[in-house]
């Protein structure tokens, strides 16, 4: 039955891929009343003030050599930014807490200035009627814990992370509606411990890039295992100690391409399912079924830690929702020959090549994401079918462009129009999707490209000493939609004349 279901699903997706989303025009009122729309940022990318008010260095500070230390000065401009959010019509704002700003040593004494900042930010959101959706961790544990015991490679971090979460729940939980434990643990484990392209920058030859320490063959699996256990421990704490009185929900957020086979060959179709099991199933399978996918255990063998009975019980069911970060659809080509390598990393175990553009396979990251909005509907349908239709939040979705002074980001408007319409189609087809957050509210320090590219609804002038924010066309479009206006494939339309957003 499982194979028949997968075959049927594959045929459905292939047919879906040949069409565009069916929604032509829609409005906010077409979504369920309790569906939430918002925008997102993260601490290191937006706050700045890296060396102010008692904050200690995180692994991002050391990895980037301080290049993001200014962020976009959100630490000082949070009141202005929340005012812009309210004017835009945001219903929720998703942000992360800097562990090293709140607990500079990673544990122990709370930094009063850090506590004050997050209390002020949350209070400002609440006073403007905007829900606070908080991520506890976004690739930025305190460098002191990395120096002390190698961070996520040590079981010690499970207790330290749970204790840090306890502080956040206790101090902020009365005003936070939605918690995410770890942001993009799948990308963090691969990027930080296999390829070395994000902190803590560990990898080994020939798999990574310019790393001086690490082992790409097993460290990604070990770090991910400790992340899963820390997540389970944190969720258990929240549910036992806080949830009944605070009435919030808690989950984890995964990066998720939608995958399509490059050809209709059996090899590419099988590799596509293998890629899904490695990228999504790595975390969702333990959360839903209590164990890693069989194909991961087969290919990684002893390099993949075993979830003990106790760990399995801890992580199974440890979520109220799953967050998804989705930008585009990619194509999968079988690479089973990598399984013959004597020394393998995560990608070799996955045995699948990811192609953004089948006609130009050497493009690793495009300057602009192809608008393949049917892929988001396909992803949501797959999660519904494969994992029992859990509650879903789209925690990041947005279009990248080069950072410049043009406020006419038509390509971003077209992207949002298509992808939000695809979410609506998925909901109408039974997906249990509860919210959508555009990435990002402002132009930010981007983790892989610094200040060179931008995703923001608001342009930030990096050369202005006051970091002036200006609304782009996409901000006007989103504001018009959020305030009940109809939007359609003909672009911004009515919103250009109705939306009057401030510049600060």
Q: Is 116 exposed, middle or buried (0-12, 13-18, 19+ CB in 10 A)?
A: exposed
CB 55 within 8 A of CB 98: yes
Contact between 17 and 260 (Cβ < 8 Å)? yes
Most distant CA pair in the chain: distance in Å?
Answer: 63
Q: Is the peptide bond before 200 cis (omega within 30 degrees of 0)?
A: yes
CB-based contact 253:230 (threshold 8 Å):
no
172, 126 contact by CB (below 8 A): no
How many CB atoms are closer than 10 A to CB 343? 12
The count of C-alpha atoms lying within 13 angstroms of the C-alpha of 110, restricted to the half-sphere facing its C-beta, is 15
Q: Give me the residues paired with residue 254 across strands.
A: 324
- The radius of gyration of the chain from alpha carbons, rounded to an integer in Å, stands at 22
Inter-residue contact 401 to 411 (CB < 8 Å): yes
Q: Which residues are catalytic?
A: 184, 396
d(CA 156, CA 149): 8
Contacts of 464 (CB under 8 A, 6+ apart): none
Eight-class DSSP state of 446 = B
Specify the 3-state DSSP secondary structure of 452.
coil
CA 330 to chain centre: 17
Cis omega (within 30 of 0) for bond into 440: yes
Q: Which of 157, 162, 163 is nearest to 144 (CA)?
A: 157
Letter string b/e over residues 46-67, b meaning 16 or more CB atoms within 10 A of that residue's CB: bbbbbeeebbbbbbbbebbeee
Helix ranges (H only) for 360-406 are 374-387
Cα first-last separation, the chain:
58
d(CA 422, CA 284): 23
DSSP symbols for 121-171: HHHHHHHTT-EEEEEEESS--BHHHHHHH-GGGSTHHHHHHHHHHHHHHHH
Q: What is the dihedral of CA 204, 448, 164, 241, to 10 degrees?
A: -110
């Amino acid at each position: 039955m499982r194979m028949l279901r997968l075959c049927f699903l594959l045929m459905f997706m292939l047919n879906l891929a040949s069409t565009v989303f069916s929604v032509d025009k829609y409005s906010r009122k077409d979504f369920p009343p309790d569906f939430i729309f918002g925008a997102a940022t993260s601490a290191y990318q937006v706050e700045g003030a890296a060396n102010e008010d008692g904050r200690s260095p995180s692994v991002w500070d050391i990895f980037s050599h301080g290049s993001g230390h200014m962020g976009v000065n959100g630490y000082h401009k949070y009141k202005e930014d929340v005012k812009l959010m309210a004017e835009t019509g945001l219903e929720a704002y998703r942000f992360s807490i800097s562990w090293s700003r709140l607990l500079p040593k990673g544990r122990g004494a709370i930094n009063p200035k850090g506590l004050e900042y997050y209390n002020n930010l949350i209070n400002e959101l609440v006073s403007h009627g905007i829900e606070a959706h908080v991520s506890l961790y976004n690739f930025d544990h305190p460098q002191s814990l990395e120096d002390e015991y190698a961070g996520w490679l040590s079981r010690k971090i499970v207790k330290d992370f749970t204790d840090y979460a306890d502080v956040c729940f206790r101090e902020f939980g009365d005003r936070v509606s939605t918690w995410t434990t770890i942001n993009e643990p799948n990308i963090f484990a691969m990027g930080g411990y296999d390829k070395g392209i994000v902190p803590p920058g560990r990898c080994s030859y020939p798999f990574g890039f310019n790393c001086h320490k690490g082992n790409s063959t097993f460290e990604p699996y070990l770090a991910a295992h400790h992340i899963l256990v820390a997540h389970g421990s944190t969720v258990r704490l929240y549910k036992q100690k806080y949830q009944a009185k605070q009435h919030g929900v808690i989950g984890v957020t995964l990066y998720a391409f939608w995958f399509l086979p490059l050809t209709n060959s059996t090899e590419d179709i099988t590799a596509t399912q293998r890629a899904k099991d490695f990228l999504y199933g790595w975390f969702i399978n333990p959360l839903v079924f209590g164990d890693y996918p069989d194909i991961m255990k087969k290919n990684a063998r002893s390099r993949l830690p075993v979830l003990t009975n106790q760990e399995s019980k801890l992580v199974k069911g440890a979520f109220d929702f799953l967050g998804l970060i989705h930008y585009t659809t990619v194509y999968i080509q079988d690479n089973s020959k990598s399984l013959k390598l004597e020394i393998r990393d995560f990608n070799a175990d996955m045995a699948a090549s990811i192609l953004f553009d089948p006609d130009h396979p050497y493009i690793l990251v495009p300057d602009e994401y192809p608008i393949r909005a049917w892929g988001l509907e396909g992803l949501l349908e797959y999660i519904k079918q494969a994992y029992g239709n859990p509650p879903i939040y789209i925690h990041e979705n947005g279009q990248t462009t080069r950072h410049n002074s043009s406020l006419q980001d038509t390509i971003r408007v077209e992207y949002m129009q298509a992808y939000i319409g695809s979410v609506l189609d998925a909901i109408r087809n039974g997906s249990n999707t509860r919210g959508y957050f555009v990435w990002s509210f402002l132009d930010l320090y981007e983790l892989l490209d610094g200040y060179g590219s931008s995703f923001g609804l608001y342009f930030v002038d990096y050369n202005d000493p006051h970091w002036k924010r200006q609304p782009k066309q996409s901000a006007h479009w989103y504001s018009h939609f959020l305030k009940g206006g109809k939007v359609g494939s003909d672009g911004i339309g009515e919103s250009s004349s109705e939306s009057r957003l401030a510049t600060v």
